[in-house]
Amino acid sequence: MKYVILMGAPGAGKGTQAKLLQSALGLPQISTGDLFRYNLKNQTDLGKLANTYMDKGQLVPDEVTVAMVKDRLSQTDCKNGAILDGFPRNLVQAVALDNLLAEIGGRISVVPSIHVNQDVLVERLLKRAEIEGRADDNEGTIRTRMDIYEAQTKPLMDYYQERGLFVEVNGQQPVEQVQQELIKVVQQAE
Ligand code: AMP
């Protein structure tokens, strides 16, 4: 059983790396952002609710997000582990995740974090806005998302560091190299 939390600021390459890790390690990727976007595309109540926060760059309320992750983790493909991408994003979610994993007899194996300098991040996000047309990749929401990351998500690094789970990886290397380092970090984890 290997539950991995992939951390990194918006634009650090979490989504790309999580998808690559999914095929390299045979563990499903759980991206809360992708799950919300999928729900929005299908116009579910969850998707419509989430979008009122997403389009401002704000976090979807914890109880909504945690319930969605609980549901996803209970599916059979997650019984040997999963790669969490974009969750947890604050301390409430981190504690909720510990409890959810305890319920299924699991625990977090390792928390790799992809580190990229702030100016490179903004540049990447603006480029992604042009290519993918993601509605929340514009200058206003990018700033909000960065602020939320600094204030709420970054403190989780200490939370996991104190438990000896945190490992930083240099995200300003070619995608393939970042991937190789991540694979090594996950394979070495118990
Ligand atoms: P992402 O694709 O991870 O950048 O997420 C896009 C947006 O989805 C975020 O800006 C939030 O509005 C929402 N979102 C994704 N994950 C979470 C989470 N763990 N908690 C709350 N909101 C989230």
Euclidean distance between CA atoms 139 and 137, whole angstroms: 7
Cβ atoms within 10 Å, residue 108: 19
Q: Is 86 in the pocket of ligand 1 (CB under 6 A)?
A: yes
Euclidean distance between CA atoms 10 and 149, whole angstroms: 8
Whose CA is closest to 178, among 8, 31, 33, 29?
8
The range of the structural domain enclosing residue 73 comes to: 2-188
Q: What is the pTM of this model?
A: 0.94
DSSP code at position 58: P
Is the separation of the CB atoms in 40 and 50 below 8 Å?
yes
Task: Give the mean pLDDT of the chain.
Answer: 95
Atom of ligand 1 nearest to the CA of 54: 12
Euclidean distance between CA atoms 140 and 26, whole angstroms: 37
Give me 153's structure tokens.
């998500």
Atom of ligand 1 nearest to the CA of 34: 2
Each residue of 17-62: pLDDT tens digit? 999 999 999 999 999 999 999 999 999 999 999 999 999 999 999 9
pLDDT of residue 53: 97
- If pLDDT is split at 50, 70 and 90, which confidence band does 96 have? very high
- If pLDDT is split at 50, 70 and 90, which confidence band does 129 have? confident
Terminal-to-terminal C-alpha distance of the chain: 8
Cβ burial of 188 (10 Å; 0-12, 13-18, 19+) is exposed
Residue 156, classed as helix, strand or coil, is helix
Euclidean distance between CA atoms 26 and 50, whole angstroms: 29
Residue 154 has pLDDT above 90, yes or no: yes
What is the domain count for the chain?
Answer: 1
Question: 66: domain CATH number?
Answer: 3.40.50.300
Percent of the chain exceeding pLDDT 70 equals 100
Residue 43, classed as helix, strand or coil, is coil
Query: Which residues, other chains included, contact 162 with Cβ-Cβ below 8 Å and sequence gap of 6+?
Result: none
pLDDT of residue 110: 98
Cα 72–23–152 angle (5° rounding)? Answer: 50
DSSP code at position 11: T
User: Quick one: average pLDDT of 88-107?
Assistant: 97
Pocket probe mutation, ligand 1, options 37, 60, 141, 148, max atoms within 8 Å of Cβ: 60
Q: Is 10 in the pocket of ligand 1 (CB under 6 A)?
A: yes
Residue having the nearest C-alpha atom to atom 6 of ligand 1: 33
